[in-house]
Structure 1
Amino acid sequence: MVLLRRSILPKVSIVIGLLFFGLLVLVSHQFGSTDSIKDIKLHLQSINLNSDSVSSKKKIKLFNYLQEDIESLNTVSVDEFLHGNVLTKKLFDTFFDIVIENQLYYPLQRRMSLNDNGKPTIDNVFFKKDPNEILSEDFLLNMFEFPEDFINDLKIKHLNIIDSLPKNYKPKFYSGSGYAIVGGGKYSWYSLIAVKCLRNAGAQLPVEIILPTKDDYNSLICDTLLPELNAKCVNMENIFNKKTLDKMKISGYQLKSLALLASSFKDVFLMDSDSYVVNNPENLFKSSLYKEKHMLSWPDFWRRTISPKFYEIAGINVTTEPIRHLNDIFTDINIMKLEDKENFDLFYDLNFHDRQGTLMDWSSESGQLLINKDVHFNTLLLAFYYNKDGPFGYHPLLSQGGAGEGDKETFIAAAHVLNKPFYQVYKKSDGAFGFYNHFDTWEHGAIVQYDPIKDWDNVGLIKNQIKNDIKKQGTNFKYDYSKYFIDELTASKSKPLFYHCHDPKFDPFSISERKLMFIRDSENKVTNKRRRILGHDFPRNQVDLELSLWNIANDYLCDKKLSFSIFNDKNIESFCENFMPEQLEFLEKSNFLITENYDESKFEENLSGSTDIFEEDDTKKESNEEKEESN
Structure 2
Amino acid sequence: MGEEGALPLVPIESVGGNSQSSRLQGYSDDAVRTSGGFWFTQKNKNVLVDRLFNLLVETKPKSPPLTNYINGEKAQQKFSSDSDFHFSEKYLMGLLDVKETTLLDLKTQHQQFVDKMRDLKMSVFGDPQKQIDGDGIVMVGGGRFSWLALLNINQLRSTGCQLPVEVFIASEQEYERDFCDSLLPALNAKCVFGFKELPMHKYRKKLQIDGYQYKILAIFASNFKRVLLLDADNVVIHNPDILFDWPVFEEYGLVLWPDCWSRTTHPYFYRIADIPIGDHPVRGQFKDRESPDEWNYHDLPGTLPNPASESGMLLVNKETQVDTLLLSLYYNMFGPSHYYPLLTQGGAGEGDKDTFIAAAYALRKPVYQVKQSMKFLGYHDTYGYHAKALGQWDPTTHTEETMAPYLSNFYDFQDGDDARLMFMHLSYPKLYPDKLRDEISWEQNGELRHRKLYPGKLPNSAYGFDLRMWELITQLICPQWTPNETQDAASVEIQDKLSGLGLQYIQNSKANAECQSLFLPHLEYLRTHTSTEEEFYNYE
TM tier, shorter chain?
0.7 to 0.9
Task: Check if 1:305 corresponds to 2:248.
Answer: no
For the residue of structure 1 that corresponds to 2:249, the secondary structure is helix
For the residue of structure 2 that corresponds to 1:491, the secondary structure is coil
Offset of 1:532 from its aligned partner?
0.4
Task: Give the match for residue 509 of structure 1.
Answer: 434
- More displaced, 127-136 or 492-501? 127-136
Change beyond 3 A, Cα 1:489–1:358: farther
- Of the two, which has the highest radius of gyration? 1
1:170 partner amino acid: S
Change beyond 3 A, Cα 1:183–1:98: same
* 2-structure distance, mates of 1:526, 1:290: 54
Retained in 1: the 8 A contact 2:421–2:458?
no
Offset of 1:367 from its aligned partner?
0.2
Q: Matched residue pairs, number?
A: 472
Task: Give the match for residue 482 of structure 2.
Answer: none
State which of 99, 103, 106 in structure 2 corresponds to 1:151: 103
Retained in 1: the 8 A contact 2:442–2:448?
yes
* 1-structure distance, mates of 2:460, 2:447: 30
Retained in 2: the 8 A contact 1:298–1:424?
yes
Task: Give the match for residue 283 of structure 1.
Answer: 242
Task: Check if 1:191 corresponds to 2:149.
Answer: yes
Change beyond 3 A, Cα 1:218–1:150: same
Change beyond 3 A, Cα 1:554–1:245: farther
Task: Check if 1:450 corresponds to 2:393.
Answer: yes
Matches within 5 A, 1:215-254: 215-247=173-205, 248-254=207-213
Offset of 1:486 from its aligned partner?
5.2
* 2-structure distance, mates of 1:447, 1:387: 24
Task: Give the match for residue 209 of structure 1.
Answer: 167
Matches within 5 A, 1:441-480: 443-454=386-397, 457-462=398-403
* 2-structure distance, mates of 1:270, 1:316: 27
Offset of 1:87 from its aligned partner?
6.7
Offset of 1:231 from its aligned partner?
0.2
1:581 partner amino acid: L
Retained in 2: the 8 A contact 1:446–1:501?
yes
Retained in 1: the 8 A contact 2:441–2:448?
yes
* 2-structure distance, mates of 1:364, 1:92: 29
Deviations 1:356-400 (A, max 9, x none): 221121110100000001111111111111011111210111111
Change beyond 3 A, Cα 1:527–1:418: farther
Offset of 1:91 from its aligned partner?
1.6
Change beyond 3 A, Cα 1:316–1:246: same
Task: Give the match for residue 170 of structure 1.
Answer: 123
Task: Give the match for residue 533 of structure 1.
Answer: 453
For the residue of structure 2 that corresponds to 1:301, the secondary structure is coil
Aligned-residue RMSD, C-alpha: 3.2
1:273 partner amino acid: A
Offset of 1:214 from its aligned partner?
1.9
For the residue of structure 2 that corresponds to 1:497, the secondary structure is strand
Task: Give the match for residue 517 of structure 2.
Answer: 578
Change beyond 3 A, Cα 1:518–1:435: farther
Stretches of structure 2 that go unaligned for 5 or more consecutive residues are 1-29, 31-38, 480-496
Retained in 2: the 8 A contact 1:278–1:542?
no
Retained in 2: the 8 A contact 1:462–1:485?
no
Retained in 1: the 8 A contact 2:433–2:511?
no
Change beyond 3 A, Cα 1:174–1:571: closer
State which of 414, 417, 422 in structure 2 corresponds to 1:497: 422
* 2-structure distance, mates of 1:131, 1:544: 31
2:474 partner amino acid: N
Task: Give the match for residue 139 of structure 1.
Answer: 91
Offset of 1:404 from its aligned partner?
0.6
* 2-structure distance, mates of 1:395, 1:256: 15
Retained in 2: the 8 A contact 1:427–1:486?
no
Task: Give the match for residue 374 of structure 1.
Answer: 319
For the residue of structure 1 that corresponds to 2:356, the secondary structure is helix
Matches within 5 A, 1:518-529: 518=441, 528-529=448-449
* 1-structure distance, mates of 2:158, 2:402: 32
For the residue of structure 1 that corresponds to 2:391, the secondary structure is strand
* 2-structure distance, mates of 1:164, 1:458: 42
State which of 363, 366, 390 in structure 1 corresponds to 2:335: 390
Retained in 1: the 8 A contact 2:373–2:410?
no
Task: Check if 1:107 corresponds to 2:107.
Answer: no
Change beyond 3 A, Cα 1:587–1:361: same
* 1-structure distance, mates of 2:345, 2:68: 11
Task: Give the match for residue 273 of structure 1.
Answer: 232
Which has more helix, going by share of residues? 1
Retained in 1: the 8 A contact 2:138–2:165?
yes
- Percent identity, please: 31
Retained in 1: the 8 A contact 2:159–2:239?
yes
State which of 279, 287, 291 in structure 2 corresponds to 1:320: 279
* 2-structure distance, mates of 1:498, 1:169: 32
Task: Give the match for residue 117 of structure 1.
Answer: none
Structure 1-normalised TM-score? 0.69
Change beyond 3 A, Cα 1:92–1:583: same
Stretches of structure 1 that go unaligned for 5 or more consecutive residues are 1-79, 113-120, 327-335, 464-480, 599-604, 616-631
1:361 partner amino acid: N
* 1-structure distance, mates of 2:355, 2:453: 31
Change beyond 3 A, Cα 1:256–1:540: same
Offset of 1:131 from its aligned partner?
4.9
For the residue of structure 1 that corresponds to 2:313, the secondary structure is strand
Deviations 1:233-278 (A, max 9, x none): 0001211123235232311122111111111110001000000101
Retained in 1: the 8 A contact 2:81–2:409?
no
Task: Check if 1:429 corresponds to 2:374.
Answer: yes
Task: Give the match for residue 259 of structure 1.
Answer: 218
Deviations 1:108-167 (A, max 9, x none): 35279xxxxxxxx99665234335443221122123221222211101110111111236
Offset of 1:218 from its aligned partner?
0.9
* 1-structure distance, mates of 2:250, 2:372: 20
Structure 2-normalised TM-score? 0.80
For the residue of structure 1 that corresponds to 2:228, the secondary structure is strand
For the residue of structure 1 that corresponds to 2:321, the secondary structure is helix
Retained in 2: the 8 A contact 1:214–1:237?
yes
* 1-structure distance, mates of 2:176, 2:104: 45
